Amino acid sequence: METIQALMQQSLGVGVGMTIGSLIGLGIRKTRGNTEGLIGGSVIITAGVIGFVCMAVMMLITWIGGA
């Protein structure tokens, strides 16, 4: 069984990629005036949560696949 640190290192790319992609997409969406669905009206917080959730899901998939 792998440690949590190893799982985080293996899944970090997914989290970072989704955070950056979400920042770009949600930033464009907010400048066009559509703020529906943003957490607290903030693009940065929403993108961070998206990145964290995606990283957690990837960690779970990696852990299940390694078992």
Q: Encode pLDDT of 48-65 as tens digits.
A: 999 999 999 999 999 898
Q: Encode pLDDT of 26-52 as tens digits.
A: 999 999 999 899 999 999 999 999 999
Considering the entire predicted model, what is its pTM?
0.86
> Judging by beta carbons within 10 Å of its beta carbon (0-12, 13-18, 19+), is residue 32 exposed, middle or buried?
exposed
How many angstroms separate the CA atoms of 55 and 14, rounded?
6
